[in-house]
Amino acid sequence: MQAFHSDTSKIYVRLLAFVKPHWKVFALSIAAMIGLASTEWILPALVKPLIDGDFGETQGSLALHIPLVLITLFFVRGVLSYIATVSLNWVAQTTICDLRMRMFDALIRQPAGFYDKSGTGNLISKFTFDVTQVAEASTRVITVAVKDSAVVLVLLGYLTYLNWRLAIFLIFFAPLIAIVVRRVSKKMRNMSSRLQGSIGELNGVAGEAIKGHLEIKIYSGYSHEGSRFLRAVHHARKFQMKVVRSSAMVVPLIQLIVATGISILIMLALKEATDSAMTRGDFVSFVTATALLLPPIKRLAGANEFLQRGMAAAKSVFTLIDTPVENNAGRVCGKVQGQIEFADISARYDGQEVLTKISLTIRPGETVAFVGKSGGGKSTLVNLLPRFYSPSNGVISLDGVNIEDFSLDSLRSNIGYVSQNIVLFNDTIHNNIAYGANCAASEEQILYAAEKAQVLAFAGQFSDGMQTAVGENGSRLSGGQKQRIAIARAFLKDAPILIMDEATAALDNEAESLIQQALKSLRYGRTNLVVAHRLSTVIEADRIVVIDKGTILETGTHDELLSKKGVYSHLYSTHYEFEG
């Protein structure tokens, strides 16, 4: 009774591929549903002897048998229904877990540019709303398609047994039903896709309001955010109602078609009974079986809504899964010496050129500070080294080898990274330092890194010490405390190359003075790329590179640049605070 669009069929086949590892439980659920459907004819069949037989005879011979058959029938149907429901939902939920893991694995392996272009709300919506819709398609649609289709076939078979001439009449209504479903399906699927987008928008607005609650309070942004959320809610409601209207239209229409056919069928059956072509029992049994056809046909028609929602959601899910991830192929570089060369590097972002023909060689163990006005391209340049982004032109070499030739894992294993926008995970201080590959470190190494980064100084103030939970993105900590945890991560990784993008920006003067000695010792024996904000970081650098509008304006030591009385000297003399 379902009209499957070819694209829908392909998506559903792909979904079933995720079911394949659980085929035994899936087969059990299908067998139980078919077994359940195969008992549907028994109830109208029991009516026949009651009508055809003499009442007194019926009381004597069937008084015990029919109740026993009924009790046995509903016991068996109950067991089969339980097995079918539980096993199918187990398969569906396990499949959803598999899908979510595949989605998450694809998500975290996307290049940095993917996150720049994708809204957080839309991405989260894929893991919550979209996957839930897939679950509906995996359970309800399969249940209806298998069980109710089998019920229809069994009842049609029984009707054919009673009177094949009348039963075949119903088959002529099937093409008309198929046409109605096909016409509505395309529209419903389009609306379902737009509904998913509106849910993503709603999640995005809510997420921004949660993150920006302090700004909302201080700037009285309640009305503005309320209006944004109201628009998102109305969009979601609008598309939800369009899906509901389409579904509400198709079910009564199909019911009307089927009811018309059944009404004509009953009239014909009544005529045959009048002409003695059917017994009274045959007629009542025929009418009962015919009436039992209406509920499964109604469910088959209604399942189209969940099918189209599920297929639109599955397409969204598979789009994420199929998005190309970062290419991790390449040679393993081992531990590098740390010589870096930028050769004629240009880079574009959103169609705008942010770096133009940058050429720079950094020696192993050298500390190079990048300074200049905000938006000049400093952070973009250092972020090219770990291949967060790729240059539009030019080559970046590490120890004389193009970094594109290295695998991402081995390249990044040689780089420590501390940025101004610190990200902490909702875990303990200890585990945020010993994060990822750092978890292999010994307890002594972890505590040493925490001590060098001045983490122990504030961790001891908490009752749980290093086992203190930091809250979502470090909500229980100050900006400086979060930054010190990030610096401790870099200490613990002990990579030959260190990128510090505004690494001390959130530290107060006292904390910075405490950590500068640790940073100085950390820099020994490794190559350091420092995007500078504070003068203390710049002054002690081996070399300072002034970047503005994507080009290098000046390079030299602090004293050399001051003596030139150029851009750097002007910035320094006016107490300019360098931004990253």
Same domain, residue pair 345 and 314: no
Tell me: the pLDDT tens digits for 452-488?
Answer: 888 898 898 999 999 999 988 888 888 788 888 888 8
Tell me what pLDDT residue 343 has.
94
The model's confidence at residue 240, banded by pLDDT at 50, 70 and 90, is confident
Last residue of some domain: 293, 322, 351? Answer: 322
Same domain, residue pair 99 and 204: yes
Helices 42-52 + 65-108 axis angle, to 10: 160
Q: Single out the residue of 406, 387, 418, 434 nearest to residue 336, CA to CA.
A: 406
**pLDDT reading at 383 higher than 70:** yes
Q: Note whether residue 578 is domain-resident.
A: no
% helix, strand, coil for the chain, step of 5: 65, 10, 20
Last residue of some domain: 287, 322, 357? Answer: 322
How far is the CA of 547 from the CAs of 99, 249, 358, 391, in angstroms?
A: 45, 64, 10, 17
Tell me what pLDDT residue 538 has.
79
Last residue of some domain: 322, 355, 370? Answer: 322
Q: Note whether residue 484 is domain-resident.
A: yes
- Residues of the chain with pLDDT > 90: what percent? 17
Give the Cα separation of 77 and 66 in Å (integer): 16
Tell me what pLDDT residue 219 has.
63
Give the Cα separation of 285 and 46 in Å (integer): 8
Task: Identify which of 36-50, 189-203, 304-318 has the greatest average pLDDT.
Answer: 304-318
Same domain, residue pair 347 and 403: yes
Same domain, residue pair 304 and 364: no
Task: Identify which of 158-172, 247-261, 284-298, 421-435 has the greatest average pLDDT.
Answer: 421-435
Q: Note whether residue 333 is domain-resident.
A: no
Task: Identify which of 4-13, 135-144, 399-408 has the greatest average pLDDT.
Answer: 399-408
Tell me what pLDDT residue 34 has.
87
Give the Cα separation of 190 and 448 in Å (integer): 57
| Three-class SS of 184-220 | HHHHHHHHHHHHHHHHHHHHHHHHHHHHCHHHHHHCC
Q: Note whether residue 231 is domain-resident.
A: yes
Q: Note whether residue 335 is domain-resident.
A: no
Same domain, residue pair 309 and 444: no
Same domain, residue pair 256 and 387: no
| Arithmetic mean of pLDDT, 200-223 | 71
Tell me what pLDDT residue 47 has.
66
Question: Any idea which of 47-56, 67-76, 345-354, 396-405 has the lowest mean pLDDT?
Answer: 47-56
Give the Cα separation of 34 and 151 in Å (integer): 8
Q: Note whether residue 331 is domain-resident.
A: no
Same domain, residue pair 419 and 350: yes
Tell me what pLDDT residue 577 has.
47
Q: Note whether residue 139 is domain-resident.
A: yes
Residue 406 token pair = 């290295």
Same domain, residue pair 300 and 358: no
What is the number of alpha carbons within 13 Å of residue 103 lying toward its C-beta? 23
Tell me: the pLDDT tens digits for 267-296?
Answer: 776 776 666 666 666 777 777 777 777 777
Same domain, residue pair 358 and 317: no
The model's confidence at residue 391, banded by pLDDT at 50, 70 and 90, is very high
Range of the domain at 510: 340-573
The model's confidence at residue 344, banded by pLDDT at 50, 70 and 90, is very high
**pLDDT reading at 55 higher than 80:** no
Tell me: the pLDDT tens digits for 540-553?
Answer: 889 999 998 889 99
Same domain, residue pair 413 and 506: yes
CATH at 143: 1.20.1560.10
More confident residue, 430 or 128: 430
pTM, two decimal places: 0.76
Domain total in the chain: 2
Tell me what pLDDT residue 247 has.
66
| Arithmetic mean of pLDDT, 202-219 | 70
CATH at 541: 3.40.50.300
The model's confidence at residue 114, banded by pLDDT at 50, 70 and 90, is confident
If you ran DSSP here, which 8-state letter would residue 237 be given?
H
Q: Note whether residue 328 is domain-resident.
A: no
Do 416 and 495 contact (CB within 8 A), yes or no?
Answer: yes
Same domain, residue pair 523 and 396: yes
The model's confidence at residue 397, banded by pLDDT at 50, 70 and 90, is very high
Residue 530 token pair = 């420092």
Same domain, residue pair 94 and 166: yes
